[in-house]
Amino acid sequence: MKVCLINNLYDPYSRGGAEQVVKNIAKGFIDDDHEVVIITTKPFRGEEKKAIEKIKIHRFFPWNLFWIGNIHKHNPVVRLVWHFFDMFNLHSYFKIKQILKKEKPDLVITHNLKGIGYLIPMAVKKSGIKYFHTIHDVQLAIPSGLLIKGEENSWQSKCILTKLYTSINKKLFSYPQAIISPSKWLMDFYKEKGFFKNQKKEIIPNSVVDIKTSYQSLADKHQFLYVGQIEKHKGVLFLINTFNKIKNSNAELLIIGDGSKLKEAKKIANQNHRIKFLGRLPNKEVINLYKKSGITIMPSLCYENSPTVIYESLAYGTPVLASNLGGTAELIKEDVNGYIFKAGSADDLLDKINFCLNNKDKIKKMRLFSAESIEKFNLENYINKILNL
């Protein structure tokens, strides 16, 4: 059959885990001999259609003040106006209907729609096509998509504009026939707020394309790995501050990624030669570092759904040390494929890092169990679960 996947961003404009999830799903459907159409955005005006590796991709610029990829460059007032036009973007509504009429897919699966338009669920419904929506974060209840530890009851989340935003989205996202969530935590978050009352709801963890059960030798030094955006809410500044307290000269922290807080992160590191900033790296190099590293640290200070970094790390045999926010704990089994620490607690994180340093043999043994723990999340199983819906 023909499957249409709609997401706000897609290669080469990917920024986070949701884009990788969509890319994996596209590959899974292609491998299963289905046709795949991607609808996504582009950063400049106009339209573009091309085929890449058997996937037909439609890109367009949704009429608005700016492109979703540039949202961080604008002040809160401008973003507020942008959010209004994004929710009721008639240009996207008619553009999506036009593409769906031409492509005639059998199934549409939408993902992150922030920046491409929240009228899309209505457009798909009116096209009469079987329709599922996958949730990736809290963006339908909180415009930024971020719920920070300690700010659960802040005025921003309780103000009248946020309540109005949430109320409208309950209606706009009542159109999909099924709602898919990678974590129970995120589904429960929306259920508690009154979303998706009359729709089928399924928990389907994200897929892993490549699971390895043979590994390279660990690096001579005990490498701890951070992979992600260099932003405060991701906890990387907190991680660097904590790692500076480590006395073991054999411990290294490798930081892969970039972001608006990179300069501040380097300042906090204060030329600590055991903390290395590697920038954004090609996927092959990231995989190579997963294979050599002892532990991947995910120190997030915001509630996470089902982070792609955890899946990738475990797939290459690297246990994960992660904060206890959101759906993260659903993937981590203590003493089997990693450890959980209290989010924002430097003492707890420090204790866990020192435990790993003092139990290197145990960490080595966990490598095989790390990959085995997510074998059930392989791509073939994911596609079968979608088709069974």
Q: Which residue has the tokens 């999830």?
A: 21
Can you tell me the distance from the alpha carbon of 266 to that of 258, in angstroms, rounded to the nearest whole number? Answer: 11
Q: Which of the four pLDDT bands, split at 50, 70 and 90, describes residue 213?
A: low
Residue 17: the pLDDT is 82
Q: Is the dihedral of CA 308, 311, 316, 322 positive or negative?
A: positive
Residue 53: the pLDDT is 82
Taken in order of first residue, the domains within the chain and their CATH numbers are 2-208+378-388 (3.40.50.2000), 222-373 (3.40.50.2000)
Residue 219: the pLDDT is 55
What is 21-82 written as a DSSP string?
Answer: HHHHHHHHHHHTT-EEEEEEE-SSSSEEEEEETTEEEEEE--SSSS-GGGGGGS-HHHHHHH
Q: Which residues pair with 149 in a beta bridge?
A: none
Is the pLDDT assigned to residue 214 strictly greater than 60?
no
Measured CA to CA in angstroms, residue 39 lies from 100, 240, 334 at distances of 10, 38, 40
In the chain, the amino acid numbered 16 is G
Q: Which of the four pLDDT bands, split at 50, 70 and 90, describes residue 387?
A: very high
Q: What is the pLDDT of residues 230-260, one digit of tens each?
A: 999 999 999 999 999 999 988 999 999 999 9
Q: What is the pLDDT of residues 105-150, one digit of tens each?
A: 999 999 999 999 999 999 999 999 999 999 999 999 998 888 999 8
DSSP letter for 148, please: B
Q: Which among 73, 49, 77, 68 is positioned nearest to 118, based on CA atoms?
A: 68
